[in-house]
Amino acid sequence: MDLLVKNGRVIDPARKIDAVTDIVIRDGKIQLIGAATVPGIPVFEATGLVVAPGFFDIHVHLREPGTEEAETIASGGSAAAAGGFTAVAAMPNTKPPNDNPSITHYILSEARRSSPARVFPIGAITKEQKGETLAEIGEMFEAGIVAISDDGKPVMDSRLFRRALEYALMFDMPVIQHCEDLYLSNGGVMHEGVYSTRLGLKGIPSAAEETMVSRDLILAEMTGSKYHAAHLSTRQAVAMVREAKARRLRVTAEVTPHHFTLTDAAVAGYDTNAKMNPPLRSADDVAAVVEGISDGTIDVIASDHAPHHINLKMLEFDSAPFGITGVETAVGLALTKLQLSMTRLIELFSINPQKIMKVAPWGLFEGSNGDLTVLDLNRNWTFDVNQSRSRSRNSPFHGWSMKGKAVGTIVGGKVVYQDRA
Amino acid sequence: MTNDQWHIDMSLVIGQFSYVISIPSPPSLNMLKRKDLLGIQDISREEILDILDTAESFQEVSKRPIKKVPTLRGKTIINLFFEASTRTRTSFEIAGKRLSADVVNISSSTSSVSKGETLIDTARTLDAMAADCVVIRHSASGAPHTLSKLTKASIINGGDGAHEHPTQALLDACTIRQRKGRLNDLKVAIVGDVAHSRVARSNVHLLTKFGTHVWLCSAPTLMPPGIEKIVCDHGEFLHVTRSMDEALEQADVVMMLRVQFERMNESFFPSIREYFRYYGLTRARAERAKSDVIIMHPGPMNRGVEIATDVADGPYSVILDQVSAGVAVRMAILFLLLGG
């Protein structure tokens, strides 16, 4: 695909680019960055807009295979594109889980066929995510996975997790952990604190996350492996990662938009769209997450897009599943709620995700994939969940007004999403 | 309710029975301006007093030879109980019937995944049958709130998970006020399994609203985090201690909580023997309280676990008064929600 992206503010912090100029894409690859007049190819007018290297959401659940009533690779990929993401990394908790190369192949072929955004599968650490024996990590790597994780079923067995970290060294892949000590969380449904006590709901203490982060950092140091902490939510967890980075461990961390915008107060009224894991924490934790984003402790903002069918989300709070959709609101919430430089924002959404997952070529240079995210920093808009491209509707951000939006998503020179005011 | 309707009802009854009906006269009635009763936390002192005053006037009805008034004739009340209950369900049933409402009982055991669907679909079904009021008890906190968003019928929370049990707190308040003459400026000790207790939470909200000092007492394993801050406006009246002696010292009221073994899926204390040693109410312990102390228990009691039999059956016990007050309070609530 060919495309001329005209007159945008082109920013790539990794290559120290920040200039109003043009980008020419030929056959899906960037051919030229600089003032250009190329007759006969389609033009994407970007005057007044920011043009960034493609945004990459490294924590989404596409639900296919197995739970297609909630989401498919096609619908999730389409929603991601509408949120400004040119790529997503898909967690392995499908049915069956992505714990062997045949599932990896299926996800990749279905993504090529139907998803506007690129899809990079994450493989399971253990067979069936059961936490008992290692999955076929090498074969999945050859099939195309970019990381391993048992996702919402954290590896509780410390010895097995050590082996996973060691084994991943063969492929230099990150091991992603959902940090939760299941003994401490033990059936909890929201953050443990005043609100859980007032509402009579079983709490998940901050310590459930923190003890797991603490153990994992010790094992990551011992093995020298690449460790990525998913969706951190507590002050102490952020502090421990900060300290680990100061000691030069190969540790990275992500946070979700809901953990920097909402607190456990949102659960009052028993809204199941305020039920996610890790749970919405206290105002102090939210402040700590925002500090972590600002000071570089946090590498990535990822949505933890977790679609669930309305039939499940309309259950009582105790019975409803954890998770909310997020790919369409992540960029808007970051632009609206965080006071970040464009450089820092692009690091969080594009440069760092690429570095962690090592997908290439990525960024604004000649020969790289023509994957671009175009932002309108001044666009005022309101999220309407009923217009979502996801198959599910479980968002707590319905009706939220935001300033700043992804208005163009370009994958391999093809405009897969645009929103002209 | 208008005065005209009131008089028509009265005359019918006077024609039917040979004595004069004397329930609260219409002008003094202050109908609750709300659809549902979901909890104590969000209702006002004035509403609570309206309920208690009305309940006191209804207590007389239960003492008549023919214990029935026509107030809610033609109204349909459904008791939707997803959890075992004897006294609350029976109490609501008797309250509804003494007000001449049609009362239907539905007991449903909760089955794992489908229970929420059952709850919502059941609620819509009952609404379609034009029920006026649904009393719901459910093991999931917030289940009544989920229902209230979906139904036209008034929802009364008959106990939800570990959240609230508003009618229990109201009947406790009714009992305390009758015995102590007031709801303010008392010391009330609430002792036992606070973590799993909706009764404790509703009582804390109610009593602190009136300026009574509430002392919550239990082992640290049964004291939920942040409990000292659950009251929004009158936090200075809430105290937390792990010493039963401190809680009972000069108490006007001692409220014992049932140890809810059925909700415990982990180890909170080593043995019943050891629990009773530290948190069981014995006669010797009760002597730390004021000489005119009243001893309460929401029931059902675990004798020998949280309360010794001689105390439960002793002279300070008002446990059966609580049960009697329960009928009157529930009549008052049904009347004030549905009578208008």
Strand partners, A190: A203
Average pLDDT over residues A153-178: 98
Q: Do residues B176 and B98 both lie within one domain?
A: no
Q: What was the pLDDT predicted at A416?
A: 98
Residue of chain A with shortest Cα separation from B143: A316
Please list, in sequence order, all residues whose beta carbon lies within 8 angstroms of the beta carbon of residue B192, skipping any fewer than 6 positions away: B200, B217, B218, B222, B256, B257, B258, B259, B279, B306
Rounded to whole angstroms, the Cα distance separating B318 from B320 reads 6
Is A88 in the same domain as A211? yes
| Residues B79 and B44 placed together within one structural domain of the fold | yes
CA A332 to CA A383: how far, in whole Å? 9
Domain count, chain A: 2
Query: Of B172, B175, B183, B133, which is closest to residue B154 (Cα–Cα)?
Result: B133
User: Does residue A105 sit in the same domain as residue A33?
Assistant: no
Q: How many CB atoms lie within 10 A of CB B259?
A: 24
CA distance B146 to chain A (A): 7
Can you give the pLDDT at residue B309?
95
B93 and B143 belong to one structural domain: yes
The reply to whether A381 and A232 lie within a common domain is no
A366 belongs to a structural domain: no
Looking at residue A289, its amino acid is V
In a domain, residue A336? The reply is yes
Domain range for A258:
54-361
- Say if residue A254 is in the same domain as residue A141: yes
| A398, A343: one domain | no
Q: Is B124 a catalytic residue?
A: no
Token pair, residue A307, equals 């679609």
Which of A183, A190, A197 is the best substitution to test chain B (most B C-beta atoms within 10 A)? A197
Clarify whether B165 is annotated catalytic. Answer: yes
Verify that A28 and A120 share a domain, yes or no.
no
Give B119's contacts in chain A (Cβ within 8 Å).
315-316
Q: Is B33 a catalytic residue?
A: no
Is there a single domain that holds both residue B75 and residue B157? yes
Do A390 and A294 lie in a common domain? Answer: no
**Residue in B71, B76, B88, B212 annotated catalytic:** B88
CB contact (8 A) between residue A186 and residue B265: yes
Please check the confidence at residue A311 and state whether its pLDDT lies above 60: yes
Which is catalytic among the residues A304, A318, A371, A376? A304
Whether residue B330 lies within 8 A of chain A, CB to CB, comes out as no
CATH number for position A24: 2.30.40.10
**Cβ atoms of A313 and A276 closer than 8 Å:** no
Q: Is the pLDDT of residue A303 over 90?
A: yes
Residue A181 belongs to a domain = yes
Q: What is the pLDDT of residues A66-98, one digit of tens each?
A: 999 999 999 999 999 999 999 999 999 999 999
Judging contacts by C-beta atoms under 8 Å, the chain B residues touching residue A311 are 117
Instruction: Please report the DSSP string for B58-123 in residue order.
Output: HHTGGGSSS----TTTT-EEEEEESS--SHHHHHHHHHHHHTT-EEEEEE-PPPTTTHHHHHHHHH
pLDDT of B135: 96
Tell whether B188 and B297 lie within a shared domain: yes
B65 burial type by CB count under 10 A (0-12 exposed, 13-18 middle, 19+ buried): exposed
- Same domain? For B258 and B206 the reply is yes
- Give yes or no: residues B45 and B186 share one domain: no
Query: What is the Cα–Cα distance from A323 to A83, expressed in whole angstroms?
Result: 18
A367 part of a folded domain:
no
Query: How far is Cα B131 from Cα B77, in angstroms, rounded to an integer?
Result: 6
Could you tell me if B144 and B272 lie in one domain?
no
Strands (E), A212-324: 227-229, 251-255, 300-301
Which tens digit of pLDDT belongs to each residue from A217-240? Answer: 999 999 999 999 999 999 999 999
User: Do both A13 and A131 map to the same domain?
Assistant: no
Let me know if residue A370 belongs to a domain: no
Q: Does A26 lie in the same domain as A59?
A: no
Domain limits at B131?
Answer: 3-163+325-338
Radius of gyration, alpha carbons of chain B: 20
> What one-character DSSP code corresponds to residue A350?
I
Say how many domains are in chain B. 2
Query: Same domain, yes or no, for A111 and A146?
Result: yes
pLDDT on residue A131: 96
Query: Is residue A292 in a domain?
Result: yes
Task: Verify that A63 and A200 share a domain, yes or no.
Answer: yes
In whole angstroms, what is the distance from residue A150 CA to residue A148 CA? 7
User: Which residues in B265-295 are b (16+ Cβ under 10 Å) and which e?
Assistant: eeebbeeeeebbeebbbeeebbebbbeebbb
Per-run averaged pLDDT (10 residues), chain B, 340 residues: 38 39 47 91 96 94 90 94 90 97 83 55 86 94 92 95 97 98 98 96 98 97 95 92 97 96 84 94 96 95 93 95 96 91
Q: Is position A179 within any domain?
A: yes
Same domain (yes/no): B9, B145: yes
Residues A18-73: pLDDT tens digits? Answer: 999 999 999 999 999 999 888 899 999 999 999 999 999 999 999 999 999 999 99
Q: Is residue A141 part of a domain?
A: yes
Q: Are residues A104 and A83 in the same domain?
A: yes
CATH number, position B258: 3.40.50.1370
Q: Which two tokens stand for residue A109?
A: 């072929």
Residues B146 and B196 occupy one common structural domain: no
- Based on the fold, state whether residues B65 and B124 are members of the same structural domain: yes
Residue B1, pLDDT score? 37
**Do B215 and B238 fall within a single domain?**
yes
Catalytic residue at B137?
yes
Q: What is the pLDDT of residue B111?
A: 42
CA distance A343 to A13: 6
